[in-house]
Structure 1
């Protein structure tokens, strides 16, 4: 299995608009092809994510990665799986209603000659806006009308509860309103249990904490791949200090325990990681980084 990174260019949406350059990263394994496509990027507050961490050590880690202290603009990598029978998206991006820097998935699909109608299945890792909200267009119509949509049962039941908006913390109340509207509009969704096979060779793995029922998806093959979603949401702090509590997680202690266990497991396996917010298209692997502080893991792109 070899990761290939290419640059693709769209035609201008209107005559006055410049073409958009997309990074496309792919894995090929027999009849299976996996691509990561850019939905754009986010604009997040570093204080919201990293504010409760030991600041001196945090700054040392970020400095070594060349990461700025005053902003956090992670990429959004949507995973596309094709095996000749199924055309599957893992998450669907942010759509038109979240941030202006995101919601670009349909453009990215078009450079591969795909239309939303070609998607046969959509598998959600979790219900946050940059993963779920792209399922509806600006007219509240489903973007992928021919797809069977799937989500973990725990995750679905959390966001589909109309009372969650009254119990969730204030910064996430908008997330709850938006998730509920989209789930209600979609109607029938296949609900997955931990360990269940969503499609032949694709199984759901419960990775809770970032959200209550966050799922990763394992794609089997001679060399398996794991679609992470947000259980590892950056390539520096989450790998070097997985035990640190992160402000973007719903249950911070559970999310940290998930990261610690997952990295320990994956560091000993030859498995590709596909991270929604990891750099270089998000496809790489975990390796132990001798001499680094903390748990001593790093994200390597050279899978």
Structure 2
């Protein structure tokens, strides 16, 4: 189901944002904080429209939603002794009225934009990258260095993308290209498996977008996976991981990625921080028969 920007905004006005909402955990001597950029409000069939009717009705009964989903937007802040690293920058002021509150959340942590040393992108969808610019179209994090996967950068900066992505996502392509152009002189690229900083390795999780990346944060025996949107919700993605999701640009690849990652996370009992998982997105994946479930931490 395609939606116009006006329709997105109208839906977003119905959501509720809790200013300064956050949760914090430690991985070795890293401090990892989930800070809220607000939430989205989306028609359920935009994400779940390809499920069988009985699957959809079962999810609605189990998770208590009807025609609308209101996923949170959990931005990851990783802090070391000398670095404040953001994974994604939220939606900014232009995407949806219920999102774009990252500056309030950072302020609640005692941080100003100039305190951010690094910005790392999981992917370039609006709710992850449109917060790069302020109301005056200036870079918010002007002192930061920027990092993004090479495949993701190549896709969104390709002039052909706007003509091939499909009408429903045309605005996504235009918005991403405009913002990425602003950092082209200050960006570093990485590929699957590379360490972007000591203790943080990129993990190719393609499908949601052509170059989507997750990040494994590890110190000794402690680890946490920053998921971005490769596991994009706590119901269908866990109960029916092999089913296509309307949120994924390559739905077949997204399903393969999601299924393999859930199996790994459940087997290793690695903690996760999911951008759209409930609460503050921190928890674990557990097996539930032939499927999985998300268990919130705390």
* Conservation of the 8 A alpha-carbon contact between 2:120 and 2:146: yes
Write out per-residue CA displacement over residues 89-142 of structure 1, whole angstroms, 9 at most, x where no aligned residue: 000000011001000000000011000100000110000000011011121111
Q: Give the C-alpha shift of residue 32 in structure 1.
A: 1.2
Distance in 1 (CA, whole Å) between partners of 2:117 and 2:254 is 31
In structure 1, the residue matched to 2:181 is 184
Write out per-residue CA displacement over residues 144-180 of structure 1, whole angstroms, 9 at most, x where no aligned residue: 0111110000000000112210111111000000000
In structure 2, the residue matched to 1:276 is 275
Of 209, 215, 223, the residue aligned with 2:213 is 215
**Pair 1:167 & 2:164 matched:** yes
SS in 2 for 1:22: coil
Alignment of 1:34-53 (within 5 A): 34-53=32-51
In structure 2, the residue matched to 1:131 is 128
Distance in 2 (CA, whole Å) between partners of 1:213 and 1:153 is 8
Over the aligned positions, Cα root-mean-square deviation in angstroms equals 1.3
Write out per-residue CA displacement over residues 157-213 of structure 1, whole angstroms, 9 at most, x where no aligned residue: 000112210111111000000000001112221111111110111110000000000
SS in 1 for 2:268: coil
Distance in 2 (CA, whole Å) between partners of 1:134 and 1:175 is 13
In structure 2, the residue matched to 1:6 is none
TM-score in terms of structure 1 length = 0.90
Alignment of 1:234-249 (within 5 A): 234-249=233-248
Q: Give the C-alpha shift of residue 263 in structure 1.
A: 0.6
In structure 1, the residue matched to 2:6 is none
In structure 1, the residue matched to 2:9 is none
In structure 1, the residue matched to 2:292 is 297
Distance in 1 (CA, whole Å) between partners of 2:18 and 2:236 is 30
Segments ≥4 residues shifted beyond 2 Å: 19-23
In structure 2, the residue matched to 1:28 is 26
TM-score in terms of structure 2 length = 0.91
* Conservation of the 8 A alpha-carbon contact between 1:150 and 1:190: yes
Q: Give the C-alpha shift of residue 20 in structure 1.
A: 5.5
Distance in 2 (CA, whole Å) between partners of 1:48 and 1:40 is 20
Matched residue pairs, number? Answer: 280
Write out per-residue CA displacement over residues 220-243 of structure 1, whole angstroms, 9 at most, x where no aligned residue: 123100000000010011011001
SS in 2 for 1:96: coil
